[in-house]
């Protein structure tokens, strides 16, 4: 019996499962596909799973905004790991179907967007049939009354499914496409600081004025903390109300990151900490001397000594 | 025969057509529904239509990111008008179908997201069937083999279609929801300055460092130009590469806005100007004395006099 | 016998002694006039006096830069109090001397500068004889071979010296002139926080680039700490090398001030703390909610909880 | 008869005359020593001289603040050239006077300050007698009733005056000391741009808040203009009211400098331009690509095209 249980954005055979398989021990763990990001995360929140693997950036499975929103609200969660998966697409159909037979193609909307150049060139008259995932679109072909003749999906699903025939490979517009996935658990001890870490926060814009975003960015800049991702998301409450999802270089155990977090909390008290974890690319962060742990410790010791009257 | 032709994100009966009907003369113009934002815009680019009405913010029809991306690339376009439409949803089915009969609901994904609370409370076991638009989902019910029993759509489509029955009204989670639409044309003379204007730009992040975004924001802040919207979008080229779509208060004919535009162009030469146009809410912009047209004129006259040696 | 000993920038009868007399108990204390600011401070450093009263801003006795430099270097000292004294000047001569007899006037250079308009109008042909202080210039008139016929000094000295005759009163160019003085002691427990406090620091510019000064100012601005004085002083080491002497609103025991001090120490480790003390004008500092002690405490508690894994 | 007339801060034999002699043709020009900076400048203002050489930075002749103040107010003037002069001091006395005979030393107060270490070591008991200039102090020794036995002055005056004997050379505390002088004329065509230029401005702080100085600095920083000098000066009107005297890299004919000047004028309309002129050290300014003249020209052309509707 497996000691560890993972949920992931399913179905099986998507890029997300490929990301999960990068986690040591995942092959022996219980892996539960979920139909959407919210479900995958809610089962972790409920204690039914230890962690969930979901796409966070540039996904073809609908991950980006759904994930950003799902982890920004509700019961708190923590990102404990990230994974990168190269994205390639294949066009599949039932055996015997030729390119010239294809009038309708199904896939997830994001995958469709990423194969537009190939489709425009090779199947300019094909109609698009929305699918809930690339894998679902592919599996749908196996039904007798499938309302489309072809699907765009990950090579993984095509390879595992004998009823599907690959008509074209590498049909994505961008050969270097990669998707970033995150492994999310309930709050607990932070992953160890490795020196090549990333910290993710969600910061609601406290007021509707241009200075607010600059004040937020300044919390990082003034401590020499580099940002590798910043994305706005509407809160959905009313037009012009946003939160920002931010990845910063470094670990909350780094003094300059801790100090920036404290600054964010003061400016925007609803700031949500989503975790500190090792970078998938292992690139170490660089810090100016005046933002080192030693510089912070020295500064605080100095101020303490002043307050004690010495 | 109509002198003016508009395209809009269709089908007929969506919120987008309601927005188009706000344009003076639209009732008498030729109105062409398009299946997606790109098509609506491309027909304007091709000269087949004078302007296109598409959703830009908080849409239920998939407008937001699709529109942001579509106007940020390709042949240049100009926003010449904006429109606000309150968003309300109804649940429709064929006559005789009761709430208890509903096992599957179809609608656009964004509409689905905005009615989750109502659905979770009243139809917690209903499955979701993705639809390409709210109107398409509703019209699909008229087919004999519809793979769902109900649809979520705009009141407009329900009112016009006798084959549909409204089971519940105002089922959106947010009673104040509103969508913003833009009317987009080919480049030409800018709409007149009204004193309550908005300027939209697309600014690619020139380099991947935190200072870049602050430098961009500072172009506005240092001229006292307020921002009413700022959204990041991945360029799709590689992870961490973004452009920012920004709405700023004021008209390009305002000196402080013109000066900010020049600053943006220097920092990020691929900055794209998307137009200056009257605000739908008619709120006039306020400007500090040192950012008035007079202050800019005085400053430039002074510098000119210095350079002339007086 | 007096329990307390003060030094002050002498001689007796100057504005500085008037400032010292504002200190409760000063009338009964031992008051030692010193010929220059350095001596007054060095006797405090040596333990020969408890505190020194010296001019810091807009002085007529040569205080400004001499004091700024003297407290910025050498063994550390602390400002524990400030005093404001209105500045008025009189023209004095020996009895029997008329305005028309005056060909040469002596006074301190700063006093001379502050009475130029009156002198230019009433004694346009008078030559200036440099004096080491206003009081010394006045007392010099009592000598038989005084190389000048009149002196500009404080009303105090004229009133106390029967050998001097006042020829004109209120001859200063600016009727609202005031000089600020500081009472300086050895380091010790800080004066109590009153809610209307001032903190003085000396910050060497860490590098010779424009960003350095902005970084320093940002340490205050980003915590909402207002500055009431900022003055540059050359370090004297080489051209273009400065330190900044800064008065900030608030007390080092205020969290936002303590945090700003820590930031300064990181950026410019040789930053010197010169004390927190009550403002002479009793104006309370205002602080935005996100810079209150409570906001800082809340932010630090939050970060601590994150690091503990809760 | 000389075609050109210069005034300078005298008397003859000071470092200022040495600076003036660096100007091509100065040896053949009429050179008028003035007793103070104001007089030297006022004779230029009145058209009695073509230009004035006065000390501006780290002077031993009282130049610094007097010059900063004198050119910041009154009828406008322009700096057209700068000169650097190494500062060395000698101790002089009448022939036959030995070090052990010296009880009183006269010199300018700034020179006195710069020789304190030497004096403290070699003549710890000598009293200081204020002098109006180093040259005046030296020349005063020639009088029979000189109230001091030695003077500190420039080597130039000692070399030219046979009645003086040099007791010690190079007695300044800082062997690398240098003073910067400026040549000041009435407004006229600016000196040619050389690529290694400096621009000097005087900017009154528009309001008494910390943001004001940051806004001013940002006018330079946001255009990539480096500052080589920034000094505060009280306006003398009331405590806490300052102007800033700033040297920026580059020439007003450089687009980034012209743009910064326009920004300063908007924020602080009383900003005074004091000239663009070649740097004495010939160090060329570096500019980021986005602050080049070409970048500014391209940006303005782009904005113009937008406003024309293309």
Pull the structure tokens for residue B238.
């590689």
pLDDT digits (tens, 9 = 90+) for C121-173: 999 999 998 887 888 899 999 998 899 999 999 888 888 888 999 999 999 98
Q: Cis link prior to C128 (omega < 30° from 0)? A: no
pLDDT, residue A1, reads 44
Helix (H) or strand (E) holding B16: helix B15-20
Whole-prediction pTM: 0.82
Report strand pairing: B178-185 vs B78-86: antiparallel
User: 10 Å Cβ neighbour count for C186?
Assistant: 16
φ, ψ of residue D66 to 5 degrees: the values are -60, -45
Q: Which residue in B74, B182, B210 has the most chain A C-beta atoms within 10 A of its own C-beta, making it the best mutation to test that interface? A: B210
pLDDT, residue B2, reads 53
Helix (H) or strand (E) holding B118: helix B116-122
pLDDT, residue B266, reads 93
Q: What is the b/e burial string over C5-35, where b = at least 16 CB atoms within 10 angstroms of the residue's CB?
A: bbbbbbbebbbbbbbbbbbeebeebebbbbe
Neighbouring subunits of B (3+ Cβ pairs under 8 A):
A, D
Q: Quick one: DSSP state of residue D135?
A: H
Band of pLDDT at residue A64, cut at 50, 70 and 90: confident
Q: Quick one: DSSP state of residue B102?
A: -
Report strand pairing: B5-9 vs B30-34: parallel
Band of pLDDT at residue B210, cut at 50, 70 and 90: low
- Hey, are the CB atoms on D296 and B218 less than 8 Å from each other? no
Over residues D14-24, mean pLDDT: 92
pLDDT digits (tens, 9 = 90+) for A191-225: 999 999 999 999 998 865 557 788 888 899 888 89
**Dist CA D99 CA D118 (whole Å):** 12
Pull the structure tokens for residue B68.
């942001």
Q: Chain C residues with CB-CB distance to D under 8 A?
A: 57-58, 65, 114, 130-132, 174, 176, 178, 180, 208-211, 213-214, 217-218, 220-221, 225-232, 234, 236-240, 242
Among A35, A29, A28, A30, which Cα is nearest to A14's? A35
Q: Given a cut of 70, is residue B104 above it in pLDDT?
A: yes
Looking at CA atoms only, how far is residue C229 from chain D in angstroms?
6
pLDDT digits (tens, 9 = 90+) for D40-56: 999 999 999 999 999 99
Closest alpha carbon within chain B to D80: B309
**Dist CA C213 CA B45 (whole Å):** 50
Task: State the burial class of residue A92 (Cβ atoms within 10 Å of its Cβ: 0-12, 13-18, 19+).
Answer: buried
What residues of B are in contact with residue D217 (Cβ under 8 Å)?
A: none
Q: Given a cut of 70, is residue B105 above it in pLDDT?
A: yes
Pull the structure tokens for residue B134.
């709210």
Among D194, D105, D137, which Cα is nearest to D14's? D137
CA torsion angle C11 C16 C18 C19 (round to 10): -150
Give the largest CA-CA distance in chain B.
Answer: 87
Lowest-pLDDT range, A191-205, A235-249, B136-150? A235-249
pLDDT digits (tens, 9 = 90+) for D27-44: 999 999 998 888 999 999
Report strand pairing: A90-93 vs A165-169: antiparallel
pLDDT, residue B62, reads 53
Angle between helices C255-267 and C293-307 (to 10 degrees): 60
Query: Is the pLDDT higher at D190 or at C283?
Result: D190
Q: Given a cut of 70, is residue B138 above it in pLDDT?
A: yes
Contact D291, D223 (CB under 8 A): yes
Over residues C295-306, mean pLDDT: 93
pLDDT, residue B217, reads 87
Where would I find the beta strands (DSSP E) of chain D?
5-9, 30-34, 51-57, 78-86, 90-93, 104-108, 127-131, 150-153, 165-169, 178-185, 197-204, 227-234, 242-249, 272-278
User: 10 Å Cβ neighbour count for D2?
Assistant: 10
pLDDT, residue D21, reads 94
Band of pLDDT at residue D237, cut at 50, 70 and 90: low
Lowest-pLDDT range, B226-235, D65-74, D245-254, D257-266? B226-235
Pull the structure tokens for residue D136.
């005046």
Closest alpha carbon within chain D to C230: D232
Q: Given a cut of 60, is residue C29 above it in pLDDT?
A: yes
The sheet with strand B90-93 has its strands ordered as B127-131, B104-108, B150-153, B90-93, B165-169
Looking at CA atoms only, how far is residue D59 from chain C in angstroms?
10
Q: Given a cut of 70, is residue B310 above it in pLDDT?
A: no
- Hey, are the CB atoms on C302 and A266 less than 8 Å from each other? no
φ, ψ of residue C303 to 5 degrees: the values are -65, -40
Distances (CA, A) of C250 to C257, C266, C287: 6, 20, 9
Instruction: Give the count of Cβ contacts less than 8 A between chain C and D.
Output: 79
Helix (H) or strand (E) holding A127: strand A127-131
φ, ψ of residue B212 to 5 degrees: the values are -60, -50
pLDDT, residue D98, reads 94
Pull the structure tokens for residue C198.
């001032």
The dihedral built from the CA positions of residue B114, B117, B118 and B123, taken in this order, carries a sign that is positive
pLDDT, residue D1, reads 44
Q: Given a cut of 90, is residue B59 above it in pLDDT?
A: no
What do you get for the CA distance between the two ends of chain A, in Å? Answer: 63
pLDDT, residue B173, reads 86
Over residues D57-63, mean pLDDT: 62
Pull the structure tokens for residue D296.
């500014």
What do you get for the CA distance between the two ends of chain D, in Å? Answer: 63
The dihedral region occupied by D170, where left means phi > 0, alpha psi between -120 and 50, and beta the remainder, is left
Lowest-pLDDT range, A266-280, C282-296, D97-111, D292-306? C282-296
Q: What is the b/e burial string over A147-161, where b = at least 16 CB atoms within 10 angstroms of the residue's CB?
A: ebbbbbbbbbbbeeb
Helix (H) or strand (E) holding A159: helix A155-160
φ, ψ of residue A43 to 5 degrees: the values are -70, -30
Under 8 Å CB-to-CB from D32, ≥6 apart: which residues?
Answer: D5, D6, D7, D8, D43, D49
Cross-strand bridge partners of residue D165: D93
Q: What is the b/e burial string over C268-307, where b = at least 16 CB atoms within 10 angstroms of the residue's CB?
A: beebbbbbbbbbbeeeebebeebbbeebbebbbebbeebb
Instruction: Give the count of Cβ contacts less than 8 A between chain A and B.
Output: 83
Contact D155, D135 (CB under 8 A): no
**Dist CA A255 CA D267 (whole Å):** 37
Lowest-pLDDT range, B157-171, B209-223, C41-55, D112-126? B209-223
Pull the structure tokens for residue B275.
């137009």
Among C147, C175, A77, D299, which Cα is nearest to B271's? D299
Query: Is the pLDDT higher at D57 or at B208?
Result: D57
Where would I find the beta strands (DSSP E) of chain B?
5-9, 30-34, 51-57, 78-86, 90-93, 104-108, 127-131, 150-153, 165-169, 178-185, 197-204, 227-234, 242-249, 272-278
- Hey, are the CB atoms on C214 and D210 less than 8 Å from each other? no
Over residues A137-161, mean pLDDT: 90
pLDDT digits (tens, 9 = 90+) for B230-283: 888 877 666 667 888 999 999 999 999 999 999 999 999 999 999 999 999 888
pLDDT, residue A276, reads 97
The dihedral built from the CA positions of residue A234, A240, A241 and A243, taken in this order, carries a sign that is positive
SS3 D115: coil
Distances (CA, A) of D183 to A210, B303, C238, D49, D132: 45, 22, 21, 12, 22
pLDDT, residue A57, reads 83
Q: Given a cut of 60, is residue D135 above it in pLDDT?
A: yes
**Dist CA B262 CA B260 (whole Å):** 5
Q: Given a cut of 80, is residue C59 above it in pLDDT?
A: no
Q: Chain D residues with CB-CB distance to C under 8 A?
A: 57-58, 64-65, 114, 130-132, 174, 176, 178, 180, 208-211, 213-214, 217-218, 220-221, 225-232, 234, 236-240, 242
Over residues B175-200, mean pLDDT: 93
**Dist CA D135 CA D164 (whole Å):** 12
**Dist CA C293 CA C299 (whole Å):** 10
Report strand pairing: C272-278 vs C197-204: antiparallel
Closest alpha carbon within chain D to B191: D309
Q: Given a cut of 60, is residue C78 above it in pLDDT?
A: yes
pLDDT, residue C210, reads 55
The dihedral built from the CA positions of residue C128, C132, C133 and C139, taken in this order, carries a sign that is negative
What is the overall mean pLDDT for chain C? 89
pLDDT digits (tens, 9 = 90+) for C211-248: 778 888 889 988 889 888 888 887 766 666 788 899 99
- Which residue is it, tokens 């560890």? A4
pLDDT, residue C213, reads 83
Cross-strand bridge partners of residue D9: D34
What is the overall mean pLDDT for chain B? 89
pLDDT digits (tens, 9 = 90+) for D195-219: 999 999 999 988 655 577 888 888 9
pLDDT, residue A35, reads 84
What is the overall mean pLDDT for chain A? 89
What is the overall mean pLDDT for chain D? 89
Q: Given a cut of 60, is residue A63 above it in pLDDT?
A: no
Band of pLDDT at residue A305, cut at 50, 70 and 90: very high
Percent of chain C at pLDDT exceeding 70: 94
Band of pLDDT at residue B111, cut at 50, 70 and 90: confident
SS3 A148: coil
């Amino acid at each position: 019996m497996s000691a560890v249980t993972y949920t992931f954005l399913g179905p099986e055979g998507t890029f997300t499962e490929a990301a999960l398989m990068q986690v040591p021990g995942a092959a022996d763990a219980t892996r539960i596909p979920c139909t959407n990001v919210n479900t995958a995360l809610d089962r972790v929140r409920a204690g039914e799973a230890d962690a969930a693997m979901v796409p966070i950036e540039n996904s073809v499975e609908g991950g980006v905004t759904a994930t950003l929103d799902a982890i920004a609200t509700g019961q708190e969660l923590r990102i404990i790991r990230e994974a990168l998966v190269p994205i390639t697409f294949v066009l599949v159909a039932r055996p015997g179907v030729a390119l010239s037979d294809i009038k309708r193609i199904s896939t997830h909307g994001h995958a469709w967007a990423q194969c537009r150049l190939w489709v425009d060139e090779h199947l300019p008259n094909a109609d698009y049939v929305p699918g809930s995932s690339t894998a679902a679109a592919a599996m749908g072909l196996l039904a007798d009354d499938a309302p489309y003749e072809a699907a765009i999906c990950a090579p993984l699903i095509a390879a595992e499914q004998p009823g599907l025939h690959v008509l074209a490979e590498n049909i994505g517009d961008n050969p270097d496409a990669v998707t970033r996935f995150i492994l999310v658990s309930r709050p607990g001890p932070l992953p160890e600081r490795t020196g090549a870490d990333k910290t993710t926060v969600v910061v609601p814009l406290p007021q509707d004025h241009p200075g607010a975003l600059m004040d937020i960015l300044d919390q990082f800049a003034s401590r020499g903390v580099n940002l590798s991702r910043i994305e706005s998301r509407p809160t959905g409450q009313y037009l012009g109300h946003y939160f920002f999802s931010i990845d910063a270089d470094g670990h909350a155990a780094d003094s300059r990151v801790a100090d920036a977090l404290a600054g964010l909390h003061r400016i925007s008290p609803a700031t949500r900490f989503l975790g500190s974890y090792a970078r998938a690319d292992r690139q170490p962060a660089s810090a100016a001397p005046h933002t080192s742990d030693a510089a912070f410790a020295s500064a605080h010791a100095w101020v303490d000594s002043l307050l004690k009257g010495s």
